């Protein structure tokens, strides 16, 4: 069986050796030494000034909306995982959808300004499959209209744009450390913020508002990462460069074999981007072909994913206007199996099935 991704698990004895430190200390949660060590390692590796490790990748979005005091309308993308939109609605704001760029799959920055109203308070955009948004254009719009900017960087661990971490853009950026991601802690995530005062506010929000054991600074929730999660992250961290190198090889093999195929579209990488090679999406000519490829592969125990489906403006709680490109792409897309040690033989078999369907 070949799945769309495969969780990288370091040798169990390496995880246990790190975890034993928490066991010996009898400290399993509430920001123990392993969480703090992981934060410091990630801060250095990623080149970011501040990081808050969290128990999953969705709470950072909700905390960011809360900490920035957002109300009213938030302009966002329909082409993302459902957590992007559900976080907006969960925090009692209204998502206003703007269609995506046909090449980069990210929010189309040329359409954002037309969606701004006197009720707009922020832009929440997703770096799709690790491919950056046009952060310069979004920043100009935000400054002009006094809007906050949040980036959903769930897929972006290790991605750089113009030589800097993608997490250094926007008022707040977030990441997921879910088990399916390049870097993971089983479940987990992080909040990134360059402003020290705002970062402190985000910190209090992620820990019930605690400012010490018996003092509080405002409202908060429980988004803390546990020592068990941090131990896994520390064990995985050692292998990051190996994982990226392996994924790059897999990504390039797919690209070289599929780039000349007619009637499919591949993701265009924004110039001056260093990818982490986390996904390999293919847009087929129509939904019928997409589903035929999917079904043909699944009969052979190969499981790509319709990622992202459906277009989020069609969710019953979102009530978004039509976004034709996102709606079409969401029905025509498959993410092909992608992990660091996927063999060339397996890739060639997957490509052969795709080519057979395209040529029927």
CATH code of the domain covering residue 89: 3.40.640.10
Residue 70 confidence (pLDDT) above 90: yes
Q: What is the dihedral of CA 198, 204, 205, 208, to 10 degrees?
A: -170
Taking alpha carbons only, the member of 160, 198, 155, 199 closest to residue 180 is 155
pLDDT category at 319 given cuts 50, 70, 90 is confident
202-231 pLDDT, tens digit per residue, is 999 999 999 888 889 899 999 999 999 999
The pLDDT of residue 175 is 98
Co-location of 87 and 188 in the same domain: yes
Using DSSP bridges, classify how beta strands 160-161 and 273-274 pair: parallel, antiparallel or unpaired. antiparallel
Residue 71 confidence (pLDDT) above 90: yes
Co-location of 233 and 244 in the same domain: no
Residue 131 confidence (pLDDT) above 90: yes
Per DSSP, the three-state class of 327 is helix
Co-location of 244 and 322 in the same domain: yes
The pLDDT of residue 317 is 95
The pLDDT of residue 290 is 98
**Helix intervals (H) in 29-72:** 33-46, 59-67
pLDDT category at 63 given cuts 50, 70, 90 is very high
Domain that holds residue 287: 240-358
Co-location of 287 and 227 in the same domain: no
Q: Which residue has the tokens 């590796």?
A: 45
The pLDDT of 193-199, averaged and rounded, is 97
* Cα(8)–Cα(337) distance, integer angstroms: 14
The pLDDT of residue 214 is 87
* Cα(227)–Cα(214) distance, integer angstroms: 22
Q: What percent of the chain has pLDDT over 90?
A: 97
Q: Are 266 and 258 in contact (CB under 8 A)?
A: yes
Co-location of 230 and 282 in the same domain: no
Co-location of 229 and 246 in the same domain: no
Co-location of 187 and 254 in the same domain: no
The pLDDT of residue 213 is 84
Co-location of 77 and 164 in the same domain: yes
272-284 pLDDT, tens digit per residue, is 999 999 999 999 9
Residue 103 confidence (pLDDT) above 90: yes
Average pLDDT, the chain: 97
Q: Are 149 and 180 in contact (CB under 8 A)?
A: no
The pLDDT of 19-38, averaged and rounded, is 96
The pLDDT of 303-325, averaged and rounded, is 96
The pLDDT of 192-209, averaged and rounded, is 97
Co-location of 23 and 170 in the same domain: yes
What distances in angstroms separate CA 256 from CA 242, 251, 278, 300, one per listed residue? 21, 9, 17, 23
Residue 202's Cα: distance from chain center in Å? 19
Q: Are 296 and 359 in contact (CB under 8 A)?
A: no
Helices (runs of H) and strands (runs of E) counted in the chain: 11, 15
**The last residue of a domain, from among 216, 237, 258:** 237
Q: What percent of the chain has pLDDT over 70?
A: 100
Q: Which DSSP letter does residue 209 get? A: T
Q: Are 119 and 72 in contact (CB under 8 A)?
A: yes
Residue 124 confidence (pLDDT) above 90: yes
Co-location of 227 and 263 in the same domain: no
43-54 pLDDT, tens digit per residue, is 999 999 999 999
Residue 267 confidence (pLDDT) above 90: yes
Rg (CA), the chain: 21
What distances in angstroms separate CA 327 from CA 115, 264, 292, 323, one per listed residue? 18, 16, 19, 6
User: What are the residues whose beta carbons fall under 8 Å from the beta carbon of 213, sequence distance 6 or more?
Assistant: none
Residue 146 confidence (pLDDT) above 90: yes
**What is the secondary structure of 259-296 as a DSSP string?**
TT-TTEEEPPPPTTEE------EEEESSHHHHHHHHHH
pLDDT category at 39 given cuts 50, 70, 90 is very high
Co-location of 228 and 120 in the same domain: yes
**The last residue of a domain, from among 195, 219, 237:** 237
**The last residue of a domain, from among 237, 261, 292:** 237
CATH code of the domain covering residue 352: 3.90.1150.10
Strands ordered across the beta sheet of 94-97: 51-54, 189-192, 172-176, 148-152, 120-126, 73-76, 94-97
Taking alpha carbons only, the member of 198, 187, 192 closest to residue 175 is 192
Per DSSP, the three-state class of 43 is helix
Co-location of 46 and 148 in the same domain: yes
* Cα(11)–Cα(7) distance, integer angstroms: 13
Residue 168 confidence (pLDDT) above 90: yes
The pLDDT of residue 212 is 84
User: What are the residues whose beta carbons fall under 8 Å from the beta carbon of 32, sequence distance 6 or more?
Assistant: 22, 25, 227, 230
Number of domains in the chain: 2
């Amino acid at each position: 069986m070949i799945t769309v991704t495969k969780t990288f698990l370091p040798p169990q004895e390496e995880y246990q050796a790190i975890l034993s430190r928490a066991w010996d200390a009898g400290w399993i949660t509430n920001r123990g030494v392993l969480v703090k060590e992981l934060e410091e390692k990630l801060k250095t590796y990623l080149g970011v000034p501040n990081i808050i490790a969290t128990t999953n990748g969705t709470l950072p979005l909700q905390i960011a909306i809360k900490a920035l005091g957002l109300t009213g309308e938030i302009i966002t993308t329909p082409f993302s995982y459902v957590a992007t939109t559900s976080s907006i609605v969960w925090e009692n704001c209204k998502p206003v959808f703007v269609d995506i760029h046909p090449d980069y799959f990210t929010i189309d920055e040329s359409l954002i300004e037309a969606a701004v109203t006197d009720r707009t308070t922020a832009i929440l955009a997703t770096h799709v499959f690790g491919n950056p948004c046009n952060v310069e254009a979004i920043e100009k719009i935000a400054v002009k209209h006094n809007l906050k900017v949040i980036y959903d960087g769930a897929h972006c661990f290790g991605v750089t744009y113009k030589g800097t971490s993608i997490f250094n853009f926007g008022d707040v950026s977030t990441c997921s450390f879910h088990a399916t991601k390049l870097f993971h802690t089983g479940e987990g995530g992080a909040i990134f913020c360059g402003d020290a005062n705002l970062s402190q506010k985000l910190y209090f929000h992620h820990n019930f508002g605690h400012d010490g054991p018996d003092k509080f600074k405002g409202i908060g929730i429980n988004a803390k990462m546990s020592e068990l999660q941090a131990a896994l992250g520390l064990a995985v961290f050692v292998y990051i460069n190996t994982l990226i190198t392996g994924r790059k090889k897999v990504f390039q093999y797919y690209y070289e074999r599929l780039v000349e195929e007619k009637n499919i579209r591949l993701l265009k990488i924004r110039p001056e981007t260093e990818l982490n090679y986390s996904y390999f999406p293919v847009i087929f000519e129509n939904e019928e072909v997409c589903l035929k490829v999917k079904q043909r592969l699944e009969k052979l125990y190969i499981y790509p994913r319709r990622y992202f489906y459906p277009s989020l403006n069609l969710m019953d709680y979102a009530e978004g206007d039509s976004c034709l490109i996102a709606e079409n792409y969401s029905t025509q897309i498959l993410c092909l199996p992608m992990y660091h040690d996927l063999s060339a033989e397996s890739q060639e078999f997957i490509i052969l099935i795709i080519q057979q369907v395209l040529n029927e």
